[in-house]
Structure 1
Amino acid sequence: MRRDDFLKSLAALAVAGGLPLAARASTNIKMMIPANPGGGWDTTGRALGKAMQSAGVASAVSYDNKGGAAGAIGLAQFVNGSKGDPNALMVMGAVMLGGIITGKPPVSLSQATPIARLTSEYNVFVLPANSPFKTMKDVIEQLKKDPGSVKWGGGSRGSTEHIAAAMIAREVGVDPARINYVAFRGGGEATAAILGGNVTVGGSGLSEFAEYISTGKMKALAVTSPTRLKGVNIPTLIEQGINVSLGNWRGVYGAPGISAEQRRALTELVLKAVKSKAWTEALDKNAWTPAVLAGPEFEKFVDDEFASLRATMVKSGMV
C-alpha cells in the first residue's frame, strides 16, 4: 500500500472510531475548570492541557472556567452537560471534597468518572506587605484576644486553607466556629484581597503566592507541611508550636456515563501527558509534588479522603 493510501485509511479508521482514543490525531479535549482564572485548579488544568498537546495525545484543548461553591457549580455543569463525552475532563481535588461536605450540593462527585490524581501541594499562610503583624505568633496573640478581628482570606468554604485555619484555631484554644473566614471564588480574587490589605492573613497553595513572596509583596508566615519544603525557607506550623499539618491534592475526573473502554483510553491520555517534558516543567515551576494515582486505587483514595476530611472538619467544628 502506498504511504498516502495508508494515511487515508488510518484517518478513516479514526473517524469511524476503529482506533483507540489515544491514537486519534484529532482528539479535542474539553477541560472544565470549576474555578475562576488565576488559582490552583486553573493553573493545573491549563498545564495538563498543554502537556496533552505536547505529548501528542490531543490536537486541541478548550477550557471552560466556572467558579463558585468550592467547585460545585462547575461540577453540576460538567455532570449535566458532558454525559457520555469521552473527551471531557474536569479538574478537581481536596477543595471540592471539602466544599461538598460543608455545602451539601444537589450534585454528587460520584456521578462523574474518576480518572487520576496528579499532584500534591501544601498551603502557605501569608501577610500583606503593609501588615502590622510580623509573625504567626503575632497573629495567634490577636486571634486569642479577639477571634473576629483576624480575617482569614482564601478559597471557598471547605478549602484546605479554610480547614487549616480552623485547625489552627482549635490548636491554640480558640473556638473554630469563631474564626472570621472570608471565602473567595478563585485564587485571583484572594490574591487581590491580600495584596490590597483587605484580609489579615491569606492562605493558598505555595505556587500561587511564590512570586509575591519573592518580591516582598507578601510575607510568608508558615507552610502546612510536616517538615520544611526543600528549597523553601518558610517555617512550618509545627515548628512554631502549632501541631497542624495538611496537604492539598489535585486530579481529574471524566464525564458521567462513559464506557469502561473510554475511561481506560482517557486515563491513558492523562498518564502519557504527565510523562511529558511540558508537565515536568509545570511541576518545577509551580513547586508541585507529583502524586500520580489512577484506576481503582484513585477511586478508593477519593472515598478514603472524603471520610478523613469529614472527620477532620467535624473535629475542627466546621460541620
Structure 2
Amino acid sequence: MPPPPAPDEERAAPSGERPRRARGPLPYVVAAVLAVVLVTVTVTRGGTSDVADQALGDQQLKIMAPADPGGGWDQTSRAMQAALQELAGRTEVYNVGGAGGTIGLSQFAQLDGQSHQLMTTGLIMVGAIAANGSANTLADVTPLARLTTDSQVIVVPAASDIETMDDLADRMRERLPSVSFAGGSAGGTEQILAGLVAKDLGLDPGDVNYIAHSGGGEAVATLLSGSAVAGISGISEIKAQIDAGQMRPLAVSSAERVELLPDVPTLRESGIDVELTNWRGVVAPAGITTEQEQALEDLVMAMTETDEWQATVRREGWGDVALAGPEFEEFLDDEIVRTTQIIDELGLSGAR
C-alpha cells in the first residue's frame, strides 16, 4: 500500500441565517496511529467562486474521508466533491481508514493551518474517541458544519430464518453472545445501537457479540458470507443490497418510518424503546485564521444549497440538517457529553 499523503508545505442546519462560531477546545481524546491512504479521486473544473478563493487562496481543496471506501463518510465526501465542483474547482478526495475515524483524525491533526484541507466526521468518530480511550483531542481540529443525518437499519441475510425484529429479540434473549452483529467501527453508531437494544431487552450490553469493520463495504461482505447473524448499517450504505433481495430489513432506528423503506417498522413499533440517528459533518485543521474559518463555513453552507447536493440528499434519504457557527459548536459539545455517557453506560469505554 502507498504511504499516506504528506502534509502540504504551502499553508494556506436549517435554512436561514447561520451565525459563525468562536473556536474553543473540546476536552476529549482520540487515538494517534499511522494512517493508510486507500483511494484518491480528483475532479477538475475550470473556475472557483469568490467564497472559495477567500477560503482556499490558490490551493486545491482536499477532503479526507476517514474510513475505507463504501461507507457513509466516503459517500459524504464524494457527494461534497460533486457539489463543490462549480464552487471550488479542482477537488481531491482520499480515504484514511480505521478505528472509527481516529486514524484519519490523528493524521489530519498534523495539517495545522492548512485551510484547503477538510475532513468528514460525525457521531461514529465521537463514539470511537470514547470507546478507544484515545490520545488526541477534537481540539486538534476546527469544527465547521453539521451536514446530514442518516437512520440506521437492522438487517439479516435474506436466507436467515429470522423474519422479524421480534424473532431477533427472542434469539438475543435466548443467548446473546450467539447473536453476532456486523457493523462499522468499534464504538460507532452501530455498536451503540446494538448495545442500546440489548439494554432495552434487559440484557448486558457488554455481552453483545459485535464484529467491527473499518468500512461499510466490509460489514456487508461479512453479512453476505454468513459470518454474522445480523447487521446494522446506515440505510444509504445498504439500500442496494436490500433492493436486490440480499438483505431483509427488520427495523429502523429513527423516530418514524423512513421514506426509502416505508414498509420497515421502527424499533419502537417493534416493542423496543430505542431511537438513534447518525449525523455527519465536516471539520478543518486547527490553526487556521478566523477569516479562513468563516470563509470555509460560507463555502460549505453554500454547497448545501446547490442543486447537486440537494439531489444527493434526496436520493440517499439523508436528513438535511445543515448547521454552522456557534449553534454547531454547542451541538457538538452536547453530542460529546451524551455519547461518552452512553459508551460508559454500555461498558464500551476504552477505560474499561
TM over 0.5: same fold?
yes
Q: What is the CA–CA distance in structure 2 between the aligned matches of 1:44 and 1:57, rounded to whole Å?
A: 17
Using the size of structure 1 for normalisation, the TM-score is: 0.90
Pick from 341, 346, 350 the counterpart of residue 311 of structure 1.
341
Q: What is the CA–CA distance in structure 2 between the aligned matches of 1:128 and 1:20, rounded to whole Å?
A: 45
1:141 aligns with 2:173: no
Q: Aligned residue for 1:276?
A: 306
1:121 aligns with 2:150: yes
1:31 aligns with 2:60: no
More helix by share: 1
Pairwise CA RMSD of aligned residues? 1.7
Alignment map for 1:195-210 (pairs within 5 Å): 195-210=224-239
Q: What is the CA–CA distance in structure 1 between the aligned matches of 2:219 and 2:248, rounded to whole Å?
A: 15
Question: Residue 116 of structure 1 aligns to a residue in which SS?
Answer: strand
1:168 aligns with 2:197: yes
Aligned partner letter, 1:29: L
Deviation, 1:23, is 8.2
The question of whether the paired residues in 1 share the 8 Å contact of 2:55 and 2:116 is answered with: no
**Cα distance 1:89–1:203, how it changes in 2: closer, same or farther (>3 A)?**
same
Alignment map for 1:77-226 (pairs within 5 Å): 77-80=107-110, 82-226=111-255
Question: Residue 156 of structure 1 aligns to a residue in which SS?
Answer: coil
Question: Residue 118 of structure 1 aligns to a residue in which SS?
Answer: strand
Q: Aligned residue for 1:50?
A: 82
1:62 aligns with 2:92: yes
The question of whether the paired residues in 2 share the 8 Å contact of 1:85 and 1:255 is answered with: yes
Size of the aligned set, in residue pairs, is 299
The question of whether the paired residues in 1 share the 8 Å contact of 2:154 and 2:251 is answered with: yes
Question: Residue 239 of structure 1 aligns to a residue in which SS?
Answer: coil
Question: Residue 231 of structure 2 aligns to a residue in which SS?
Answer: strand
The question of whether the paired residues in 2 share the 8 Å contact of 1:21 and 1:266 is answered with: no
Please list every run of 5 or more consecutive structure 2 residues that lacks an aligned counterpart in the other structure. Answer: 1-49
Deviation, 1:43, is 0.1
Q: What is the CA–CA distance in structure 1 between the aligned matches of 2:326 and 2:65, rounded to whole Å?
A: 23
Q: Aligned residue for 1:15?
A: none
The question of whether the paired residues in 2 share the 8 Å contact of 1:26 and 1:58 is answered with: no
Question: Residue 125 of structure 1 aligns to a residue in which SS?
Answer: strand
**Cα distance 1:84–1:233, how it changes in 2: closer, same or farther (>3 A)?**
same
Q: Deviation string for 1:258-307 (max 9, x for gaps)?
A: 00001111111111111111101110111001011101111111110011
Deviation, 1:26, is 5.5
The question of whether the paired residues in 2 share the 8 Å contact of 1:27 and 1:57 is answered with: no
